[in-house]
């Protein structure tokens, strides 16, 4: 019947090899922060939440997961820095694997996107800078004034990321996605609006990216490039994090990723959507990065199903990330 559409006709439903993994379709689910992990420990109900979103041969990326006690900026977000947290993730990861899905843990540190209330002993959040985020007039959210951490403290934070990656693998995750997007700690260093340092971690592009590159290198060294992806958003202006030359920033980071043979994926967020004739249009500004990156390229940012199929068919992206569930059939 006419209702039966051949699978070949749907680009999102074609298989793709991602590093050592075989995906049966190209829809990546990257769910939003859920804030229900009491005392930063993932709860049993998360097994249901994630397994409902897991599909045979699909890639699922966990919500932002803190790498240390200073990494938190929202209430009740999960972590992966204690043995208790590692053990709590295990049944959740098992539930996803039973559905035949690939599961990556998103390793995150919010930096200054936090308040003293979420920090150990009520201390100031740490960042590349001591500049506070402009209070949000709409939500009324006020983030605390951060403490610019010292040069000699940086290796400790890099080590937190390394240890968290090891813990994620111990929990059974297939790999990790480094959160280098949306104004969180790595971006606070990378972008010139939020990095006013005068040491070797500030100033020119190479210096600003040094912290992120050290985090990537440490994690790759710890668990292997074939278990590591990253999320970047050079064009996105979020939490007072923007860069005067986002194209150069994105290209430099892609070059750094390419130094690691087999680095699994680069997950990049589109420039802000433009409204044309009352319809939001995706600007498709990621093509140079897609062309330059050696591994699997994932595009995110307001795609619907039709647009997702189009960019895969056009070779603009290998995979497309969606924040909300949608049904592949029908």
**Where in the sequence numbering do the catalytic residues fall?**
184
Q: Where are the beta strands (DSSP E) in the chain?
A: 16-18, 21-23, 27-29, 59-66, 102-108, 126-127, 147-148, 175-180, 228-232, 265-269, 274-276, 279-281, 296-300, 319-322
Nearest by Cα to 286 from 247, 241, 236: 247
| SS3 label, residue 92 | helix
Q: Which two tokens stand for residue 218?
A: 């440490």
Give, as one character, the DSSP assignment of residue 33. Answer: P
CA distance 293 to 314: 17
Q: Which two tokens stand for residue 212?
A: 């992120």
CA distance 257 to 266: 8
């Amino acid at each position: 019947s006419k209702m039966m559409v051949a699978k070949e006709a749907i680009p999102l439903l074609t298989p793709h090899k991602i590093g050592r993994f075989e995906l049966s379709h190209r829809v990546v689910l990257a769910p939003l922060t859920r804030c229900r992990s009491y005392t930063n420990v993932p709860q049993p109900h998360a097994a249901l939440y994630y397994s409902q979103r897991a599909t045979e041969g699909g890639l699922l990326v966990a919500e932002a997961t803190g790498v240390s006690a200073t990494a938190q900026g929202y209430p009740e977000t999960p972590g992966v820095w204690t043995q208790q947290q590692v053990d709590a993730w295990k049944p959740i990861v098992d539930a996803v694997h039973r559905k035949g899905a690939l599961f990556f843990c998103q390793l995150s540190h919010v930096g200054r996107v936090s308040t003293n209330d979420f920090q150990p002993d009520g201390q100031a959040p740490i960042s590349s800078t001591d500049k506070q985020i402009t209070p949000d007039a709409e939500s009324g959210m006020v983030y605390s004034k951060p403490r610019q951490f010292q040069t000699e403290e940086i290796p400790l934070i890099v080590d937190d990321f390394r240890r968290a990656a090891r813990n994620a693998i111990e929990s059974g995750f297939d790999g990790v996605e480094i959160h280098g997007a949306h104004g969180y700690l790595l971006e606070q260093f990378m972008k010139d609006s939020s990095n006013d340092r005068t040491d070797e971690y500030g100033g020119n592009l190479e210096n600003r990216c040094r912290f992120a590159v050290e985090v990537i290198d440490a994690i790759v060294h710890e668990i292997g490039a074939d278990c590591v992806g990253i999320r970047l958003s050079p064009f996105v202006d979020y939490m007072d994090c923007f860069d005067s030359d986002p194209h150069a920033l994105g290209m430099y980071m892609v070059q750094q990723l390419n130094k690691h043979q087999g680095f699994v994926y680069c997950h990049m967020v589109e420039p802000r959507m433009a409204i044309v004739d009352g319809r939001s249009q995706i600007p498709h500004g990621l093509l140079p990065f897609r062309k330059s990156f050696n591994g699997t390229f994932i595009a995110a940012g307001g795609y619907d199903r039709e647009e997702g199929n189009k960019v895969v068919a056009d070779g603009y992206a290998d995979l497309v990330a969606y924040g909300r569930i949608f049904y592949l059939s029908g």
